[in-house]
Amino acid sequence: MSLLDEAYHLVHDHPGGAPALAARLKKNHGTLCHELTATGSAKLGLLDAKKLTDFTGDLRILQAWAMEAGQMLMPLPKDGQPTDECLARVASMAKEFGDLVKEVTHDLGDNQISDNELDRIEREASQLVAAVHHLLASLRQRNQDGKPNAERQVP
């Protein structure tokens, strides 16, 4: 779906719909509806799209934008929330995977892979493999930490 379609559904699926959200945006209900359907010269602005996302907690607009840009979203820990090592490792692994995908798709742009491109791809792949191993080590430790002392494996 397009960004505008997602915005339209976000607004109309929200309890109270367009009238409730238009009031929070300090807009006329009709104006918001025109912006959501691109009627005439009406356009939904970037800051209003952000406000709609913030008001509703619905990430559809952001997700559609990320998809159109060939990206993905990943939730981050909230401020004040302790960082979980396993989740940090998952985030690191996802970043390394994204770096590998970016390198491969960039290098395939001319339908050839040079020696330098292959070296960069292999370096990115190695970093992904290392991130996977770090994640597995963290998960193994979490597994051991959850067991009674008598059942823990000695390294």
Please give the single-letter amino acid code of residue 32: L
Q: What is the pLDDT of residue 149?
A: 86
On average, the pLDDT of the chain sits at 91
CA atoms within 13 A on the CB side of 57: 1
Residue 70 pLDDT level (bands cut at 50, 70, 90) = confident
The residues near 85 (Cβ < 8 Å, ≥ 6 apart) are: 138
Q: How far apart are CA 30 and CA 36, in angstroms?
A: 10
- Rounded CA-CA distance 2/17 in Å is 19
- What is the distance between the alpha carbons of residues 126 and 123, in angstroms, rounded to a whole number? 5
Contact 112, 104 (CB under 8 A): no
pLDDT digits over 98-111, tens only? 999 999 999 999 99
Confidence tier at 1 by pLDDT (50, 70, 90)? confident
Prediction pTM value:
0.57
Burial per residue of 16-46, b for 16 or more beta-carbon CB atoms within 10 angstroms, e otherwise: eebeebbeebebeeeebbbbbeeeeeeebee
pLDDT of residue 98: 92
What does DSSP assign to residue 147?
A: S
Whole-number percent of the chain with pLDDT over 70:
94
Residue 130 has pLDDT above 70, yes or no: yes
Residue with tokens 């009238």: 19
pLDDT class for 84, splitting at 50, 70, 90? confident
Q: How many Å apart are CA 60 and CA 109, to the nearest integer?
A: 30
- Helix (H/G/I), strand (E/B), else coil: 40: coil
Percent over 90 (pLDDT), the chain: 74
Band the pLDDT of 74: cuts 50, 70, 90.
Answer: confident
Please check whether residue 30 is in contact with residue 17, taking contact to mean a CB–CB distance below 8 angstroms.
no
Phi-psi region of 17 (alpha: psi -120 to 50; beta: other; left: phi over 0): left
